[in-house]
Chains A and B, each alone.
Chain A
Amino acid sequence: MRVEGLRKKAGGRQILRGISFEVPSGATLGIIGASGSGKTTLLRCLNGLERIDDGFIECGEVRLEAGLSEEEYRRRAKLLRRRVGLVFQHLHLFPHLTVMENIVEAPIHVLGMKREEAERAARELLEEVELQGLADRYPESLSGGEQQRVAIVRALIMRPNVLLFDEPTSALDPRRSASVRALLRRFVAQGHTMIIVSHAIRFLEDLADQLLYMESGEVIEYDRATELLQDPKDSRTRDFLRQAI
């Protein structure tokens, strides 16, 4: 996934001021920054939920760029979403559907998968995240950690090229947070391409290959993870890291 010169204005405020980065296939990018730095807006742009004002997002042969007609933008955003899955910070599970139905809804109705096939795939994934017993439960009866794993499976079953996570640990206690990290590390090992937004640097420490530090909608520093953590070039990055750790 390649992003070039991304700008986004909302409510009269410049939220993103020219963001660029490139995540090679199989790599993991961690985006860090304080609240209000534009991290979440950036993720929403990458999933086509927000219209960008300048620059482009490229994923495979899909290219979402500023200046397209409304209709064309929507068409390409839809194509982009087929390649890019998003796990929301607040998960947004469908409360009227069971865990299984939450997961197979899109494969069946968007990809046209057969129900048995979709359910088989869902069961495999649920087993992988250790939720096999909860397929028939409703989201409201699950714990926060279980809900999150359902949301991950729901995104994963669409076989996206890139998986986006918005603050995956914000709802979890340290123990649960560690188990999510273990899960994401497994994904790294399996070769998934991921972009993870977080303000918890520890969480990203040996998960992300690259780190991108944002402040007020700008990229302050973008480097290999080890470089950025051990030898930050910019004083603002240093300040942030000092406060965060």
Chain B
Amino acid sequence: MSGELSGRRALVLFLCIAFSVAGCAQEERVLRWGADPSGGAPYVFTDPAHPDRYIGYEKEMVEALAARMGRRAVMVATDWEGIVPALERGEFDIIVNGLEPTADRAARILFSKPYYVFQLQLTVRRDERVINSLEDCRNRLVGTLGNTAASRLLAQKGIRFRSYAEPGTAYRDLELGRVDAVLMDVPMEIYYARGNPRLRPAGPPFYRGVYVIGLRKGDEALKAEVDAAIEAIMRDGTLERILRKWDLWDDAQAELQAAVKRGEEPRYEMTAATFNWTDALARLARAALITVLLAFGAMFIALSLGLSLAVGQSKGPSWLQAVCTVYIEFFRGTPVLVQLLFLYFGLPQIGIALPGWLTALVGLGLNYAAYESQVYRAAFEAVPRGQWEAAYSLGMGPALAFRRIILPQAFRIALPPVTNDFVSLFKDTSVAYAISVWELATAYRELANATGEFLLLGAIVSAFYLAMSLPLAHIARRLERRQQRRQALQALVVEAAT
């Protein structure tokens, strides 16, 4: 009797728990917000003290907004340059990442009320003598983040600039002399450059723009909710407290919030990407030229170093053989991307700061040398032993025999596989994107992100790659066929001789 009762009780208890859990899940609404946390200080970034969580003024702001909206904020880490397409794909509901309203973005997404007024700050090296304002930057190279108000302003003024994916990298390259100045939103400048004794601001902050929250087209209801929440955290002083805590409060914020509190719709100017096809094609052509330069330069290094490696590995003293083997296995066994990042960011720590394009050229060359050495080695082994003996028999020493008799023949054997490798090296130049070299892949990402023309620009960039790699592949095939014919003929001669 009592056992039956307790069984029924247990069932009731279980159902209660089950329903309440389901109820909670239905009750709790989430606000998924997208942001790029890599190098994202002070917006949202990895907490240096607790690398497993993110901090930042925008994170605190989103949490305050979400609380107002009765939701739980869930951050979705994404990539800044692809943030609008990611929103459109539905990976998150809103963008909160220092997003500026632009005409091209307005065509694709909705904007909330502005929540922050930003200015731009130009930064130079402490010993800089010439640059004191943006006007002084003509004919110099300025670093900035890709697809931002700063980059659009530079493009508009016709100042040469290099786009970075992270502010930290841009300021480091400024220190190393890889760029002459950096133009960045003030919040980033405060966090990444202000405390650096080797850098100094050039002139006062200028330009005014705003940050807004981005939403998908059609999400008007959510936009109304977000706008109401922004107004609320301004009215009750929550946003001011957060901004003061991050040292971001200034007169511009006070003006913006005063207008909102008075019930005025804050007005702001919308920048537009200055984009025209002639300009884009010219930039793509330049990128293609750099791609070709990288490929040829890297191949030159790969072929000459690869030869030394092959000779060292098969003919050198045992210690040299070991060194060559370690080199080859290291470069074949680690990703070329990691090698490039190491060269670009690691070498400056021991005082060697190469510009990006040279780093990419040398890095790819060092990497491909490991592969080419193995092509050479196979080719040396494919030259018949009788060729060595014939050379020795005529009184040649090993060095002379190698140089005059073996090497030219090995080179012919190696030519088709080397040409094939060249085609892949050609495509591998796209990893130079990681160190901000303006080659074709970088050009594609930046232009496409700035315009949304992923399909059309993708087709054009592919056409550029194909225009360069197809002829090479064709040459490789012809060389291979000729080689096969030659080998068949030689086999015939040897057969006839025996």
Contact = CB atoms under 8 A, between A and B. Distances in A.
A81 B490 contact: no
Interface in A35-71: 47-49
A47 B393 CA distance: 7
Nearest to A110: B395
Contact of A90 (B394, B400, B409, B497): B497
A85 interface: yes
Interface stretch (B13-21, B64-72, B381-389): B381-389
A175 interface: no
Contacts of B392: 48-49, 81
Given A95-B409, A96-B412, A81 B497 contact: no
Summarize A's interface: helix, strand, loop or mixed.
loop
Contacts of A181: none
A91 interface: yes
Interface string B478-498: 000000001001100110111
Contacts of B394: 81, 85, 105-106, 110, 154-155, 158
A110 B498 contact: no
B389 A144 contact: no
Interface in B425-454: none
Contacts of A109: 396, 400, 404
Contacts of A92: 384, 386-387, 389-390
B408 interface: yes
B390 A94 contact: yes
Interface residues of A, number: 30
Contacts of B486: 95, 140
B203 interface: no
B490 A95 contact: yes
Contacts of A94: 387, 390, 405, 409
Contact of A49 (B393, B404, B408): B393
Interface of A: 47-49, 78, 81-82, 85-86, 88-96, 105-106, 109-111, 140, 144, 147, 154-155, 158, 170-171
26 contacts: A47-B393, A49-B392, A49-B393, A78-B395, A78-B397, A81-B392, A81-B395, A82-B395, A85-B393, A86-B393, A90-B498, A92-B384, A92-B389, A95-B486, A96-B409, A96-B412, A105-B394, A106-B395, A106-B396, A109-B396, A111-B395, A140-B486, A144-B497, A155-B393, A171-B497, A171-B498
